[in-house]
């Protein structure tokens, strides 16, 4: 087993956790041979070390004799050979195989006089400038992108990677990469109201047609007005609720839904808690009190009065509460986690889209159950009232259409919420962020194709589903350059 790039893990604590996991794996599978690649200086700074018996193989820099031998074997390197013998800084850089290849690509068949007697910082800058120019010269006429476009995108990428991490994953793009408050406001507005708009208006139309079939028909002015009012109500409610409850949205973060798992144990725990919850009067009081004291809630009734009202009506609504809790119990067993390893570009967002379909399906089924529970609970209340008053009012409400209509409406709501919370929202937020970055000239429309293109030109290197610059100094070189302010 070959494990490469331990030092590429950005956080030191995570590096040590990784070593502990490898140690545990080795204890369980002692016969498995493992080769681990890491920088010596990075490993020696860690407090956690490998505790199994192992041999160390050091890969040192090239010797001056090896570099000289290689230069003598390749034609067209007379200028590099001449400079190599006279410049100590150039000798130090050439001892790294990658930089030796970069030097050969940049100056093969040409003069290296411009690199002579420069300090290390200036030499790196001049070397990468020439390298980039040679790469563009090789790809002239065969590129999807103009040099100006690609340079602008690489500069923006390098600046972002310098601030955040060594490995760039497309799905880790976050709204904090937007440059000014105007762009962040546009992102917040679009990401919130886009998925708020997707379902309330069609849902309002369905509600109007099915609940008021005599007075509302497709195309009538009354239908349009009713749908518009319902849209405003649904939008306002969902906007306030989602913004208040969704921490990621409130902090303008995109949290992908990459892995969904379902636990029967969590469902059982939820069902047990739901049986006890209605009788926790103190919890209800504190909840009412929190609503009452909150500055962004408008509840004018004192929490004590609300609690007394809750106690009085509890016997009536207890079957309703229990049936609703039971109906939504499948959702309570769903947990969200991240993929441990990404192998494809933007895999997290694509997994979120796939999981949103699963969430929508589960939500739709749950909505049907909730709708039927609502009707059955309502009929139970009417039946109890009939027994107490010796009437037969329940006969007026028993109609198969009520079950069909309520089930359809609740299934649409459940489908939408399941789709939204289990991947749909994060996918839409990611798409809107990419759209804004594209329109402001920071990234192309098809980002993965561009990153693969940059990898083919030896600017980037692919690591699983992510990308890194071929050398940290190349990233620094792009990061210190100025971006073109024009939009493409």
Q: What is the pLDDT of residues 322-366, one digit of tens each?
A: 777 777 777 777 788 888 778 888 899 999 999 989 888 888 887
- The string of DSSP codes covering 404-429 is HHHHHHHHHHHHHHHHIIIIIHHHHH
Give residue-wise pLDDT tens across range 359-406. 888 888 877 777 777 666 666 666 665 555 655 555 555 555 666 666
Query: What pLDDT, on the 0 to 100 scale, is given for residue 434?
Result: 92
pLDDT digits (tens, 9 = 90+) for 269-327: 877 877 777 777 666 666 666 655 554 444 445 667 766 766 776 666 676 677 777 77
67 C-beta neighbours (distance < 10 Å), count: 20
Residue with tokens 């190599």: 84
Give the CA diameter of the chain.
Answer: 111
Strands 460-463, 466-469: pairing kind? antiparallel
User: String of b and e for 375-414 (b: at least 16 CB within 10 Å)?
Assistant: bebeeeebeeeeeeeeeeebeeeeeeeeeebbbbbbbbbb
Average pLDDT of 115-143?
Answer: 75
Of 9-18, 168-177, 405-414, the one with minimum mean pLDDT is 405-414
Look at phi and psi of residue 376 and say left if phi exceeds 0, alpha if psi is from -120 to 50, else beta: alpha
Contacts with 182 (C-beta within 8 Å, 6 or more apart), sequence order:
none
Between CA 295 and CA 288 the distance in angstroms is: 13
Q: How far is the C-alpha of 394 from the C-alpha of 378, rounded, in Å? A: 10
Whether the Cβ atoms of residue 80 and residue 109 lie closer than 8 Å to each other? no
Query: Model's pTM, two decimal places?
Result: 0.71
- Cβ-count burial 131-163 (b if 16+ within 10 Å, e if not): bbebbeeebeeeeebeeebbbbbbbbbbbbbbe
Pairing of strands 460-463, 334-337: unpaired
User: pLDDT over 70 for what percent of the chain?
Assistant: 69
């Amino acid at each position: 087993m070959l494990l490469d790039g331990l030092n590429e893990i950005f956080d030191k604590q995570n590096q040590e956790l990784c070593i502990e996991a490898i140690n545990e794996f080795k204890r369980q599978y002692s016969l498995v041979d493992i080769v681990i690649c890491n920088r010596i200086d990075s490993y020696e700074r860690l407090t956690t070390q490998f505790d199994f018996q192992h041999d160390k193989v050091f890969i040192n820099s090239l010797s001056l004799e090896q570099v000289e031998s290689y230069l003598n074997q390749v034609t067209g390197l007379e200028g590099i050979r001449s400079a190599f013998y006279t410049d100590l800084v150039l000798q130090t850089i050439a001892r790294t195989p990658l930089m030796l290849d970069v030097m050969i690509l940049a100056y093969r068949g040409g003069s290296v006089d411009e690199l002579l007697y420069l300090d290390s910082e200036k030499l790196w800058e001049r070397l990468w400038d020439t390298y980039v120019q040679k790469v563009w010269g090789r790809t002239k006429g065969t590129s999807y992108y103009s040099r100006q476009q690609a340079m602008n995108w690489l500069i923006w990428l390098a600046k972002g990677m310098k601030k955040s991490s060594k490995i760039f994953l497309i799905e880790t793009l976050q709204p904090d990469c937007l440059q000014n408050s105007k762009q962040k406001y546009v992102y917040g507005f679009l990401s919130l109201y886009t998925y708020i708009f997707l379902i309330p208006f069609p849902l309002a139309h369905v509600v109007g047609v099915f609940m008021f079939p005599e007075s509302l028909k497709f195309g009538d002015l009354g239908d349009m007005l009713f749908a518009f009012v319902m849209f405003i109500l649904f939008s306002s409610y969902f906007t306030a609720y989602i913004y208040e409850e969704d921490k990621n949205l409130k902090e303008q973060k995109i949290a992908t839904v990459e892995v969904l798992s379902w636990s029967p144990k969590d469902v059982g725990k939820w069902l047990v808690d739901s049986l006890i919850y209605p009788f926790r009067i103190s919890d209800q009081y504190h909840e009412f009190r929190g609503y009452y004291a909150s500055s962004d809630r408008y509840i004018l009734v004192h929490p004590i009065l609300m609690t007394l009202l809750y106690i009085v009506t509890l016997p009536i609504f207890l079957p309703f509460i229990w049936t609703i809790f039971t109906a939504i119990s499948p959702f309570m067993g769903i947990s969200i986690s991240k993929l441990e390893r990404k192998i494809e570009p933007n895999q997290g967002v694509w997994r979120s889209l796939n999981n949103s379909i699963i969430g929508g399906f589960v939500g739709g089924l749950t909505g049907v159950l909730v709708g039927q529970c609502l009707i059955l609970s309502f009929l139970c209340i009417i039946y109890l009232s009939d027994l107490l008053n010796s009437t037969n009012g329940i006969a007026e409400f028993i109609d198969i259409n009520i079950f069909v209509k309520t089930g359809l409406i609740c299934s649409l709501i459940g489908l939408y919420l399941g789709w939204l919370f289990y991947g749909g929202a994060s996918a839409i937020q990611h798409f809107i962020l990419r759209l804004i970055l594209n329109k402001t000239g920071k990234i192309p429309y098809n980002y993965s194709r561009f990153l693969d293109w940059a990898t083919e030109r030896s600017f980037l290197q692919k690591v699983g589903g992510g990308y890194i610059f071929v050398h940290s100094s190349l990233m620094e070189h792009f990061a210190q350059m100025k971006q073109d302010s024009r939009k493409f």
